[in-house]
Amino acid sequence: MVLSDVRKLAASYKTPSVAVIGSHSALDISSGAREYGVRSIAVCQKGREQTYKKYYLKRKSVLGVIGCIDEIMLLGKFADIAGKKAVSELQKKQAIFVPHRSFSVYVGYDAIENDFSVPIFGNRFLLRAEERNTPKNQQWLLAKAGVRIPKTFPSPDRIDRLVIVKASEAKRKYERAFFTVHSPHEYERKSKEMLSHGLITEEGLESALIEEFVLGAQFNFNFFASPLTGELELMGTDFRRQTNLDGLLRLTAPEQTEILKIARMKNIEVGHVSCTIRESLLEKVFEVGEKFAETCRREYKPGIIGPFALQGAIIPTESGEEPVIFDVSFRVPGSPGVRYTPYGGYLRGKSLSVGERIALEVKSAAQEQRLGEVVT
C-alpha cells in the first residue's frame, strides 16, 4: 500500500465520517464523534451487532434524539472489512477508520497493511509492533527510547527471581495465560501442569515471554500524540479489572491459598477503573511518553498518531518512585474512563474522552485541510 495514496484520498474528503469495528472501544469513539458533529459508522459482525444496532443506534424518542451511532455496516465476519466491497463502501462514505485491538485481532496485520486501503487514524504499521515476536517490537522500542522496562529472561534456566510468564492461551491465542514462578524448577512444574490441562500449547510456551514481575502500583498512562499541534497530551490514567484476579484479591490470604488448590488465577481484562497519580510524578510520566513517541517517530515514520497507552507500574527506588513500562497499546486503549480523570481538564478546561479527542482532531484537520496528516 502506498502511503501517499491513502493520504491523498483522505485529503479529498469534504465531510469525513469516523468508522470503527463494533467491539472494544466503538461506543467511546462513536460517542466522541457525536459530540463534535462527525458522522459515525459501526462495522459489525452478524451475531454480534445487537449492542450497536438495538441499544446505541441513533434514533428519536420522547426524550429527544438518543444513541451515538449513525449507521451500522453489517458483515459476515469482521475480516471481511478488508475485502474490496467493504473497502469501496467505506471510501464512498468518506470514512476515517479508527483502529483498536479487536481490529488487529480479527482482521490481521497483513490485511491491515496491504489490503485495507481506507485512511486509518493512526499509524497502521505500528499496530504489529504490539506483538512480542516481531522485529522492532514494543520492547525494542521501549529499550531504544531508554524507558525502564522489566528484565526479560531468554530461557527458563536463567530465572533467578519472581517472574511472570506470558504464554498464549491454547484456545484464544489473542489472550495470554499468565503464570508466576521464581525458579527454573518451579517453571518446569507449572508449565507441565498448564500443558496437561490444555491451557497452553508447546508452541505457545516456546514463544512465551519470561519477564521480571514488577511489584508496584499499576497504571495505564493514556496519551494522545497530535500531528496538528505537535504536542503530547496525557488523556488520563487508569488501572485494569481482571478475572478472576479481582475476586481472589477480595479474599484473605488463607482463603486464597485454599481456592488456588482447585482454581487457576486468570488475568483476563474485563474493565478499567479511573485513577489519578501523584502530581509530583507527572513530569516523569511525560518524560517517558515523550522519549517513547520520539523513538517511534524515528523508527516508524510518521510515528504515533493519536491515542496510545503505556502500561506499567510505579515502583519504589532509593532515589524515589519511578515508572516501569511493561506493555504498549499503539492505538485506542480500551479505557473510556479516562474522561473521569482531571488531566484533560487541566489542559483545556474540561476532560475529554478518547473518542472526543479523536473527533476533535479529525474535525480540526478537515477544517484546516490537513486530513492527510492524521492518517496512514
pLDDT of residue 1: 65
Residue 333 phi, psi (nearest 5): -75, 150
Residue 179 grid cell: 503464570
Percent of the chain surpassing pLDDT 90: 82
For residue 196, pLDDT over 70 is answered with yes
Question: Where residue 248 falls among pLDDT bands split at 50, 70, 90?
Answer: confident
For residue 165, pLDDT over 80 is answered with yes
pLDDT of residue 51: 98
pLDDT of residue 17: 98
Residue 148 grid cell: 525502564
Residue 306 grid cell: 493519536
Query: Which residue intervals of the chain bear CATH 3.30.470.20?
Result: 138-147+215-349
Residue 106 phi, psi (nearest 5): -85, -25
CATH number of 138-147+215-349: 3.30.470.20
Give the distance from CA 201 to its chain's centroid. Answer: 25
Residues 150 and 301: their CA atoms lie apart, in Å, by 27
pLDDT of residue 246: 87
Query: Which residue intervals of the chain bear CATH 3.40.50.20?
Result: 3-121+366-373
What does the pLDDT look like over 320-372, one tens digit per residue?
999 999 999 999 998 888 999 999 999 999 999 999 999 999 999 999 999 99
Q: What's the mean pLDDT in 41-59? A: 98
Q: Flag the least confident range among 75-79, 129-133, 281-285.
A: 129-133
Q: What's the mean pLDDT in 121-135? A: 94
What does the pLDDT look like over 304-323, one tens digit per residue?
999 999 999 999 999 999 99
For residue 181, pLDDT over 70 is answered with yes
pLDDT of residue 174: 63
- Which CA distances in Å does 77 have to 47, 48, 202, 358? 9, 10, 29, 26
Report which of residues 18 and 246 the model is more confident about: 18
By CB neighbour count within 10 A (0-12 exposed, 13-18 middle, 19+ buried), where does 178 fall? buried
Per-chain mean pLDDT for the chain: 94
Q: Does domain 3-121+366-373 have CATH number 3.40.47.10?
A: no
